[in-house]
Amino acid sequence: MRHVRLLIEYDGTDLCGWQRQANRPTVQQHVEDALAKLLGHDVTIIGASRTDAGVHARGQVASFRTDKAIPLVGIRRGLNTLLPDAIAVRDAAEAADDFHPRFSATGKHYRYSVLARADRSPRLHARAWHVHGPLALPAMQHAAAALVGEHDFSAFRAAGCAATTTVRRVESIAITRSEPDVCDIDVRGNAFLRQMVRIIAGTLVEVGVGKRAAAEVAEILASRDRGRAGQTAPAHGLELIAVGYDGARVRS
Amino acid sequence: MRHVRLLIEYDGTDLCGWQRQANRPTVQQHVEDALAKLLGHDVTIIGASRTDAGVHARGQVASFRTDKAIPLVGIRRGLNTLLPDAIAVRDAAEAADDFHPRFSATGKHYRYSVLARADRSPRLHARAWHVHGPLALPAMQHAAAALVGEHDFSAFRAAGCAATTTVRRVESIAITRSEPDVCDIDVRGNAFLRQMVRIIAGTLVEVGVGKRAAAEVAEILASRDRGRAGQTAPAHGLELIAVGYDGARVRS
């Protein structure tokens, strides 16, 4: 049976996350409904990352199976006609039969954006976490270095996380000023625990505003205690930039 | 009487432009209503640029008069509490009595953003004009060079434009790729005719997609005939970046 891989971009502001839920608008529900219209049969899609409500993506990957011979360009264009403005398909490609968006992934790249200034920004309202006061980027970079590598990230996972193993490998954390008042935290890793990037971002911001010492982050990691890490940064600052496969490094 | 100058940012998506209209949400109406609540008296504000519905701003300038002694920081914070998410005040400062946001302005900087790719972008949906096919930036840059300098811009003004003189000075037009699929057209000038930046953008995009030769733009300018220029690019791709005063170059 034919297996098709989709590259999906979405603005998560008015969506209830990736995963289908009864009577709530989610990315999975919108894409499955559009595919059902396009193909004339029920479709279940599998996504690489089950993003939370409010989280954005420019590089979500999903796949589905069909017996229909509709060309890839017709799938892409047809979906973009049927999907709401908040969701678009950037690419459609034939996938190997054993391809699995989540289990085949060898890396993911998330970006967490923080607006650090006294006043709100209408432009970044739904795309960056607004915190007051300037951020000390060198301290944040120093703290982030302790998280790079293969570690037990128990201290940085949400209470309800069902993962059986808590060891993950973070390839890199880059902290840069993308605009005078905006700090981007780019996290690349092989896989992530539930809300791990948002807890890392929340903890690093506490270092950036001087609420915690940079050296504390290594201790938090070693403690494996979620109670010691910082707050979970809000969903709307997070974006899934890319998912990598085939051992290749995650592209952004 | 005290004269206060405001620096205002807004997302124009759900606003009906700058200027107050009966029963429609505009930036002027929201800011005047918030000021009336804050100061306890009716206020009329004057803006530097009467942006159209859908146009964004990160550097709109406006001013108002009051006898109230409320500190500047109280004005800024008070307004940001009262204003909707789509509008924020970035700065409040005392202004000279003879300061006029529009007539004192010596320069303005607008940015027009174009998304050039086959598929829509949910992220840029309300912030960039979506056109198909790649843009030839060198041709656009060549065409734009003809518009720089002091010229009669009659060919690049909207039908209803009431300006008595049509000579304006364009300081520079920078055309850059801010992302792989996004082209920013940064126009700086001393003043602009109605919809002039959007007509320039519409014409340059026609050059970029190969619908017109770059050399044609100089002929259009010389013709002073609006009928010869390109379409008016849609409002949502335009942003007022900054207004300059006191002979200083426009900062961005």
pLDDT digits (tens, 9 = 90+) for B193-224: 999 999 999 999 999 999 999 999 999 999 99
Q: Do B122 and A90 touch (CB under 8 A)?
A: no
CB neighbours of B134 closer than 8 A, spacing ≥ 6? Answer: B116, B117
Answer whether B119 touches A (CB < 8 Å): yes
Q: Is the pLDDT assigned to residue A21 strictly greater than 70? A: yes
Specify the higher pLDDT residue, B159 or A248. Answer: B159
pLDDT tens string B32-63: 999 999 999 999 999 999 999 999 999 999 99
Q: How many CB atoms lie within 10 A of CB B97?
A: 8
The pLDDT confidence band at residue B160, using thresholds 50, 70 and 90, is confident
Specify the higher pLDDT residue, A90 or A246. Answer: A90
Q: How far is CA A173 from CA A93, A165, A211, in A?
A: 30, 22, 20
The whole-angstrom distance between B122's CA and the closest CA on chain A is 5
Residue type, B187: V
Q: Do A119 and B80 touch (CB under 8 A)?
A: yes
pLDDT score recorded for residue B252: 42
Cα–Cα distance, A174 to A111 (Å, whole number): 9
pLDDT score recorded for residue B246: 79
Q: Is the pLDDT assigned to residue A38 strictly greater than 70? A: yes
Q: What is the mean pLDDT of residues B139-163?
A: 94
Q: Is the pLDDT assigned to residue B242 strictly greater than 90? A: yes
The pLDDT confidence band at residue A160, using thresholds 50, 70 and 90, is confident
Answer whether A132 touches B (CB < 8 Å): no
Q: What is the mean pLDDT of residues A130-147?
A: 96
Answer whether A236 touches B (CB < 8 Å): no
Q: Do A122 and B80 touch (CB under 8 A)?
A: no
Q: Is the pLDDT assigned to residue A252 strictly greater than 60? A: no
The backbone torsions φ and ψ at residue A82, rounded to the nearest 5 degrees and listed phi first, read: -85, -30
What was the ipTM of the complex prediction?
0.87
The backbone torsions φ and ψ at residue A181, rounded to the nearest 5 degrees and listed phi first, read: -105, 10
Q: How far is CA B156 from CA A120, B90, B174, B212, B233, in A?
A: 35, 32, 18, 16, 12
Which of the residues A121, A178, A241, A251 would you substitute to probe the B interface, choosing the one with the greatest number of B C-beta atoms within 10 Å?
Answer: A121
pLDDT score recorded for residue B133: 78
The closest CB to that of B119, out of A86, A88, A121, belongs to A88
pLDDT score recorded for residue A23: 87
Tokens of A187: 């996290």
Please report the DSSP string for A91-113 in residue order: EEEE--TT--TTTTEEEEEEEEE
Quick check: helix, strand or coil at residue B217?
helix
Tokens of A208: 């950036």
Q: Do A58 and B123 touch (CB under 8 A)?
A: yes
Cα–Cα distance, A10 to A171 (Å, whole number): 25
Rounded mean pLDDT of chain A? Answer: 95
Answer whether B76 touches A (CB < 8 Å): yes
pLDDT score recorded for residue B248: 52
Q: How far is CA A40 from CA A21, A59, A87, A94, A178, in A?
A: 22, 26, 21, 19, 44
Tokens of B108: 């303005």
Q: How many CB atoms lie within 10 A of CB A64?
A: 20
pLDDT score recorded for residue B251: 45
Tokens of A32: 């499955």
Q: Do B123 and A87 touch (CB under 8 A)?
A: no
pLDDT tens string A201-227: 999 999 999 999 999 999 999 999 999
CB A92 within 8 A of CB A233: no
Helices (H), chain A: 27-39, 72-82, 137-145, 196-208, 216-223
The pLDDT confidence band at residue A251, using thresholds 50, 70 and 90, is very low
- Residues A198/A199/A204/A205 CA torsion (nearest 10 deg): 70
